[in-house]
Chain A
Amino acid sequence: MDLFLQQILTGLANGAIYACLALAVVMIYQAIDHFNFAQGEMAMFSTYICWAMIAGGLPYWVAFFATIIISFVGGLAIERIIFKPLHSAPVLSHVVVFIGLVAIFNSTAGAIWDHTIKTFPSPFPDGSFAGLIGLHEIGMFFVTLIMLLGIFGFFRFTRIGMAMQAAAANPDSAGLVGIRVGWMLALGWGLAAAIGAVAGMMIAPIVFLDPNMMLGILLYGFASAIVGGISSPGGAVAGGFLVGIIENLAGTYIPAIGSELKLTVALILIVTVLLFKPNGLFGKTIVTRV
């Protein structure tokens, strides 16, 4: 039983990582109606920027907020500079550009800050809660919760949040009610990059900082967002914790799996969930009359 509890808590701790990134995934999805495969690498790059600032002598929180602002502007710039000219290109072409961005960020980070693994400071005290779960994980949980509330409020109660959803869902109609669709996309990119940056800075103390830190985690982030329901930020967070727990329990209790097949099993479980709940566990079913 102790082992079980321990595994659940470890799962929750990992889940906090996935939930954090899943939020960024949902954010960009609400804004551009697609996944951004470069999201993980953008978050990684942001985290390096923060690391460089801290290494340069800035206090943690100054670097933290500066990174958020830089990431926001960077995300905005990527949309305006790279994607704006491609608005009429097919979606599959956009996916290729995402892949291109992944390669660029990954490789550039390696070239600037080399490939050695770096430690990244946590803003929370060392130690753990009753020896079961680290204080950093608990802190991260609350950061995720704050972001979740922020995003929820933004989409639900602000004019701009609603306009952003409208622009993503139906750009033509959005223009016809006076929404500047292009800038909504850019804003969505900016916000997603900023949230990704927070996720990166929260994750890095656990997984350490290196250019490839996000490759695996982003997959879990996507999976969490999809399992929870891509249209629901709350679902994404719940999905994150669920994926974390499933992954750990499967790895521990099914002997044939062990740690080598953990990822596979998690993915298969996720796909199974989707077969029965195709809109995710918490996603709204979208009804459209033909």
Chain B
Amino acid sequence: MSQILEVKGLEASYGPTKVLHGLDFSLDQGGVTTILGANGAGKTTTLRAISGMVTRSGKISLAGTELSSLSTADITRRGIAHVPEGRGTFVRMSTEDNLRLGAYSRNDKAAIAEDMERVYTYFPILKQRRGQQAGTLSGGEAQMLAVGRALMLRPRLLLLDEPSFGLAPLIVQELFAILKRINDEEGVSMLLVEQNAALALELADHAYLLETGNIVISGTSESILENETVRRSYLGY
């Protein structure tokens, strides 16, 4: 299978503090990969480094295009949609304006309208809330909006930062079912960061385990599920 993203020797730091110490990993085209790890392991930073939101060094290539020197906006325009930690919706704008901004870098009006409808089919609740200020949405709705906005880019790769955070279990199930559909039906590759390892491994086909800025274990989801360390520390059985 071909690779959509290849990362080599990725380092990242906040001010004087280095957080990632040279990560090597790759993502399969059309696959779902998850990064597991405890709080502070560097999961969010890995995503932020790919999107160019932190100072970073190393090689990041998206299907052959080198990203490591590009700005966040330019990386997004190459087809990476990042659903950030805390959702990052534009709270003062309406739901629909948020979605419209998701397609900001595109010019194909007809296709954008089509995609908007498709997002509304995935998340019917957003259609009901289309005119409502995004700040007034519930946590689950806001997360759906964030994912919907990312889809409006027609991304080749979707980065998801803890989509389950702070949501009720039922909502989480619903959301992950939709993510699976998106992956199946549209072939969007995904890189998922999750605290909830069991949930993540269910959706993902590959997984990496991150500890204090280093990748310590990697493999298919099945093999990771059987790994003693992962089971004990992250799955709890």
Contacts and interface: CB of A to CB of B under 8 A. Distances in A.
A is bound by B: yes
Interface of A: 159, 162-163, 165-166, 169-170, 172-181, 231, 284, 286-289
B81 A176 contact: yes
Interface stretch (B27-35, B97-105, B195-203): B97-105
B131 to A, nearest CB: 14
B76 A178 contact: yes
A178 B90 contact: no
Contact of B84 (A159, A176, A180, A231): A176
B217 interface: no
B73 interface: yes
A289 B139 contact: yes
A178 B104 contact: yes
B189 interface: no
B76 A287 contact: no
B73 A166 contact: no
B101 A162 contact: yes
A287 B104 CA distance: 25
Contacts of B173: none
Interface of B: 51-53, 71-74, 76-77, 81-82, 84, 88-93, 97, 100-102, 104-105, 133, 135-139, 142, 149, 153
A163 B81 CA distance: 17
B90 A170 contact: yes
B101 A172 contact: no
Contacts of B135: 286-289
A162 to B, nearest CB: 6
Given A287-B133, A287-B136, A288-B135, A176 B97 contact: no
Question: Would you list the 8 A-B pairs with minimal beta carbon distance, nearest first?
Answer: A178-B105, A175-B72, A173-B88, A178-B76, A288-B135, A180-B73, A178-B77, A176-B82
B72 A176 contact: yes
A173 B83 CA distance: 9
Given A178-B104, A179-B73, A179-B104, A170 B133 contact: no
A181 B90 contact: no
B104 A286 contact: no
Contacts of B92: 165, 169, 231, 284, 286
A289 B105 CA distance: 29
Contact of A159 (B51, B76, B104): B104
A163 B137 CA distance: 21
A175 B73 contact: yes
Contact of A177 (B137, B139, B153): B153
A256 to B, nearest CB: 42
A286 B92 CA distance: 7
Contacts of B139: 289
B93 A165 contact: yes
B88 A172 contact: yes
Contact of A286 (B51, B73, B91, B138): B91
A166 B136 contact: no
Given A162-B100, A173-B84, A179-B104, 7 more contacts: A162-B97, A162-B101, A166-B90, A176-B51, A177-B101, A178-B105, A288-B91
Contacts of B149: 177
B8 to A, nearest CB: 24
14 contacts: A162-B100, A172-B88, A173-B89, A173-B90, A176-B72, A176-B76, A176-B81, A177-B104, A177-B105, A177-B149, A178-B76, A178-B153, A287-B133, A289-B137
Contact of B136 (A163, A165, A289): A289
A257 B131 CA distance: 48
A231 B101 CA distance: 19
Contacts of A289: 135-139, 142
Given A173-B89, A284-B92, A166 B71 contact: no
A147 B142 CA distance: 35
A175 B101 contact: no
